[in-house]
Amino acid sequence: MAAGSEVTATYYIQHHLQNLTFGRHPENGWSFAHSSTEAQEMGFWAIHVDTMGWSIAMGLLFIWLFRKAGKMATTGVPGGLQNAVEMVIEFIEGLVRSAFHGKNPIIAPLALTLFVWILLMNTLKIIPVDYFPELFARLGVEYMKIVPTTDPNATLGMALGVFILIIYYSLKVKGASGFAKELSLTPFNHWLLIPFNLLLEVIGLLVKPFSLAMRLFGNMFAGEVIFILIALLPFWAIWVLDVPWAIFHILVVTLQAFIFTVLTIVYLSAAHEHH
Amino acid sequence: MNINMTLIGQTIAFAIFVWFCIKYVWPPISTALHERQKKIADGLDAASRASRDLELAQEQAAQTLRESKEQASQILEQAHKRSSQMIEEAREQARAEGERLVASARAEIDQEINRAKEELRAQVATLAITGAERVLEASVDEKAHRKLLDKLAAEL
């Protein structure tokens, strides 16, 4: 890269970190954003089409794969796909059995969905950062950020779902009064300390989904930025850093999916427990 | 938005990464999958073998039972045969013994009769002589008539 490389680099990074945004622009009305500023000007009333598309695609891939395995399932010796799917299901089942102490048939399927879905979405990161943006540029699409978990909207969305479940099961299992008691009388069981307890518990409750979302997003986003920075190196040197970083991300990708799943199970288990 | 060498650089990196995965990441996963498959296959095999063994054992037990029943009935039959045989033998022996006793008794009787006859003969001679002496009122020369009297006794 020669003159103006700094501008190019900044542009390159910004471009790769920009989602394909469709929304209501104050001037242009409902349209795709043609720049980061335009996307920002859209404010809340915008949607990241690439995040939605890729996350739904990964969700469908998960459903298709597991449904196919389920349809072909035999009671005899399992074939390749069935074997792999069974292994994942066994893993999740073990996780739920060890971490979830209530009784709820929803938890294991929920954990399985979260784990596989996040794993698939994270795995998109292994694909070189330029492949899909370049491909979609040929097709006339300006932006394409393919890893949904590098978008806080996606991770917060999932965490919000988990949060709703936490609230729902807390109310269902403990009842409104039981839940209120838990919020106001722990950790200090004294009426004078109710405001303090309430503050502590509500913050604790709200932090749960936020930490879930931010942990996943933070890890994935940081990794993505490093990948983009590595891509700025001279082409013959890219592999020197890119390959170790990608190998490291085999770990990060599974670990983050695992952590999200385990924490979800633990939070929901806590929601089912009486104090 | 311009295609440049970066794309090639990334492709090189991606190719190396894929090679790495094929070489070092996939084998352990594949091994684990195969091990799981093998374990399941072994388990199913063992189960079917066990059920076959059970069937076999049951069959064997039934066979043994049948055989022993047969043997028992055989033994019983033999015993029956033997007992009837023994009874038959005993009966035979008893009859033989009886016959023998009868025969010996008869022989004894015969002997007795003979002896009585002998005695009678001897006495008849004396009686005859005595009678004759009475009849003749005379003494008969015993010596002279002895031969005659013996002949008479023998004819008795």
Q: Let me know: does A155 contact A217? Beta carbons within 8 Å.
A: yes
The one-letter amino acid at B38: K
Which residues of chain A have a CB within 8 Å of the CB of B7? 128, 130-131, 134
Distance spanning both ends of chain B, measured CA to CA: 171
**What's the average model confidence in pLDDT over A210-237?**
90
Half-sphere exposure of B113 (CA within 13 A, CB side): 6
Quick check: A143 and A15 in contact, CB under 8 A? yes
- Is there a contact between B14 and A238 if contact means CB atoms under 8 Å apart? no
Residue range A61-83, pLDDT digits in tens:
999 999 988 888 777 777 788 88
Predicted confidence band at A1 (pLDDT cuts at 50, 70, 90)? very low
CB distance A77 to B38 below 8 Å: no
Nearest CA in chain B to A133: B1
What's the half-sphere exposure (Cβ side, CA atoms, 13 Å) at B32? Answer: 10
- Closest-CA distance of chain A to residue B78, Å: 55
Task: Tell me whether A248 touches chain B (CB under 8 Å).
Answer: no
DSSP state of A125: G
Tell whether the model's pLDDT for residue A6 goes beyond 70: no
Whether residue A57 is predicted with pLDDT greater than 90 in this model: the reply is yes
Average pLDDT over residues B22-43: 90
Cα angle A185, A191, A194 (rounded to 5 degrees) comes to 55
Q: Which amino acid is at B94?
A: A
What residue in A sits closest to B29 (Cα-Cα)? Answer: A84
Phi, psi of B138 (to 5 degrees): -135, 155
With cut-offs at 50, 70 and 90, classify the pLDDT of residue B141.
low
Question: What residues in A contact B35, CB-CB < 8 Å?
Answer: none
By annotation, the residues of A acting in catalysis are 211, 215, 219
Reading the block at residue A157, the tokens are: 């969305």
Longest dimension (CA), chain A: 70
- The tokens of B105 are what? 């008794």
Give the rounded distance of the alpha carbon of A164 from its chain centre: 16
Mean per-residue pLDDT for B107-119? 92
> What DSSP character marks residue A45?
S
Of A78, A130, A137, the CB nearest to B10: A130
CA distance B137 to B143: 17
B17 to chain A: closest CA residue = A243
Q: Give rounded-to-5 percent helix, strand, coil for chain B.
A: 95, 0, 5
Helical ranges in chain A per DSSP H: 5-16, 36-41, 49-72, 80-99, 107-123, 131-138, 152-185, 194-231, 238-271
Q: What's the domain range around A63?
A: 5-271
User: CA of A51 to nearest chain B CA: how many angstroms apart?
Assistant: 21
Break chain B into its structural domains and give their ranges: 27-155
Residue contact A242–B1, C-beta within 8 A: no
The answer to whether the CB atoms of B37 and A77 lie below 8 A apart is: yes
Residues of A with Cβ-Cβ distance to B27 under 8 angstroms: none
Question: Contact A122/A218 with Cβ under 8 angstroms?
Answer: no
Are residues A257 and A58 in contact, defined by beta-carbon separation less than 8 angstroms? no
Which residue on chain A is closest to B5 by alpha carbon? A235
Is this complex scored with an ipTM above 0.85? no
Number of independent structural domains in chain A: 1
Residue A2 has pLDDT above 60, yes or no: no
Give chain A positions within 8 Å (CB) of B21: 250
Q: What distance in Å separates residue B7's CA from the closest CA in chain A? A: 6
Instruction: Please count the other Cβ atoms lying within 10 Å of the Cβ belonging to residue A11.
Output: 12
The tens digit of pLDDT for each residue in A102-157 reads 788 889 999 999 999 999 999 999 898 888 888 888 888 888 888 999 989 999 99
